[in-house]
Structure 1
Amino acid sequence: MSSFSALEGVRCLGKRSTVVDKCDECAADFEVQSVRLLKDSLPSERKMFGSGRFSIVAPLFARSQLFSNRSLSSALPLAYTKYANKDTDYQNPPLVILHGLFGQRTNWNSMSKALNHKLNCAVFSVDLRNHGDSPWSHSMDYPSMAMDLSLFLEKTVREEMVKVTPEGSDIPSRPVRVHLLGHSMGGKVAMHFSLLPRAKDNLKSLIIEDTAPRIYDSVTHKRYPNYVKAMKEADLAGKSRREIAEQLSSTVYDEKMRQLLLMNLETNSKGHYRWKLNLEGIGRNLSEIFGIDMPSGVYSGPCLFVSGGISPYVAVQDRPSILERFPKAEFKVIEGGGHWVHFDQPDQFLHVVHHFISSLS
Structure 2
Amino acid sequence: MQLFVKSLRFLRNGKFLTRTLTTEQNYAQQVEAVPLSSELFEGPKTDANTAPLITMHGLFGSKQNWRGISKALTSKTDRRIYTVDARNHGDSPHTSSHSSAGMSADVSSFLSTNSLSKACLMGHSMGGRTMMHFALTYPQLTDRLIVVDISPISIPRSFYEMNRIFDAMLNIAVPSNLPMAEGRKLVKEQMKQATDSMETVDFIMLNLRKKPDTGEFVWACNVQTLHDSLPHFGNYESELQNLKPYNGPTTFICGTRSPFMSPDHWPQVLKYFPNAEIHWLDAGHLVHFEQPQKFIQIVADFLNKK
Output the TM-score relative to the length of structure 1: 0.73
1:221 matches 2:159: yes
The one-letter amino acid of 1:264's match is N
| Structure 1: stretches of 5+ with no match in the other structure | 1-64, 159-174
Counting only pairs closer than 5 Å after superposition, residues 183-262 of structure 1 correspond to structure 2 as: 183-196=124-137, 199-216=138-155, 219-236=157-174, 237=176, 238=178, 239-262=182-205
- Please list the CA deviations of residues 110-139 of structure 1 after superposition, one character each: whole Å capped at 9, or x if unmatched: 111111221132110001111111111111
1:180 matches 2:121: yes
| Structure 2: stretches of 5+ with no match in the other structure | 1-22
Of 320, 332, 350, which residue of structure 1 is paired with 2:267? 320
1:287 shift after superposition: 1.2
Aligned to 1:204, the other structure's residue is in SS state strand
Counting only pairs closer than 5 Å after superposition, residues 266-345 of structure 1 correspond to structure 2 as: 266-270=209-213, 271-292=215-236, 293-294=239-240, 295-335=242-282, 337-345=283-291
Counting only pairs closer than 5 Å after superposition, residues 136-151 of structure 1 correspond to structure 2 as: 136-151=94-109
1:253 shift after superposition: 1.5
**Contact 2:31–2:105 at 8 Å: present in 1 too?**
no
Alignment partner, residue 97 of structure 1: 55
**Contact 1:304–1:329 at 8 Å: present in 2 too?**
yes
Partner Cα separation in structure 1 for residue 106 and residue 33 of structure 2: 5
Percentage of identical aligned residues = 30
**Contact 1:95–1:181 at 8 Å: present in 2 too?**
yes
1:67 shift after superposition: 4.5
The one-letter amino acid of 1:313's match is F
- Please list the CA deviations of residues 140-194 of structure 1 after superposition, one character each: whole Å capped at 9, or x if unmatched: 11111111111111223x2xxxxxxxxxxxxxxxx62211001001111111111
- Please list the CA deviations of residues 34-76 of structure 1 after superposition, one character each: whole Å capped at 9, or x if unmatched: xxxxxxxxxxxxxxxxxxxxxxxxxxxxxxx945234368211
Alignment partner, residue 57 of structure 1: none
Aligned to 2:76, the other structure's residue is in SS state helix
Aligned to 1:357, the other structure's residue is in SS state helix
CA-atom RMSD, angstroms?
Answer: 1.8
**Contact 1:72–1:151 at 8 Å: present in 2 too?**
no
**Contact 1:210–1:306 at 8 Å: present in 2 too?**
yes
Partner Cα separation in structure 2 for residue 120 and residue 71 of structure 1: 31
Partner Cα separation in structure 1 for residue 295 and residue 234 of structure 2: 24
Judge which range, 299-308 or 88-97, deviates more. 88-97
Compared CA separation, residues 72 and 117, structure 1 to 2 (3 A): farther
The one-letter amino acid of 1:101's match is L
1:220 shift after superposition: 2.1
**Contact 1:142–1:288 at 8 Å: present in 2 too?**
no
**Contact 2:24–2:243 at 8 Å: present in 1 too?**
no
Alignment partner, residue 354 of structure 1: 300
Partner Cα separation in structure 2 for residue 70 and residue 324 of structure 1: 22
The one-letter amino acid of 2:305's match is S
Aligned to 1:75, the other structure's residue is in SS state coil
1:315 shift after superposition: 1.3
Partner Cα separation in structure 2 for residue 289 and residue 269 of structure 1: 34
**Contact 1:214–1:291 at 8 Å: present in 2 too?**
no
1:246 shift after superposition: 1.0
Compared CA separation, residues 70 and 89, structure 1 to 2 (3 A): closer
The one-letter amino acid of 1:315's match is S
Output the TM-score relative to the length of structure 2: 0.85
**Contact 2:54–2:122 at 8 Å: present in 1 too?**
yes
Of 79, 82, 85, which residue of structure 2 is paired with 1:124? 82
1:326 shift after superposition: 0.5
**Contact 1:265–1:273 at 8 Å: present in 2 too?**
yes
Alignment partner, residue 19 of structure 2: none
**Contact 2:195–2:201 at 8 Å: present in 1 too?**
yes
The one-letter amino acid of 2:85's match is D
Partner Cα separation in structure 2 for residue 245 and residue 181 of structure 1: 31
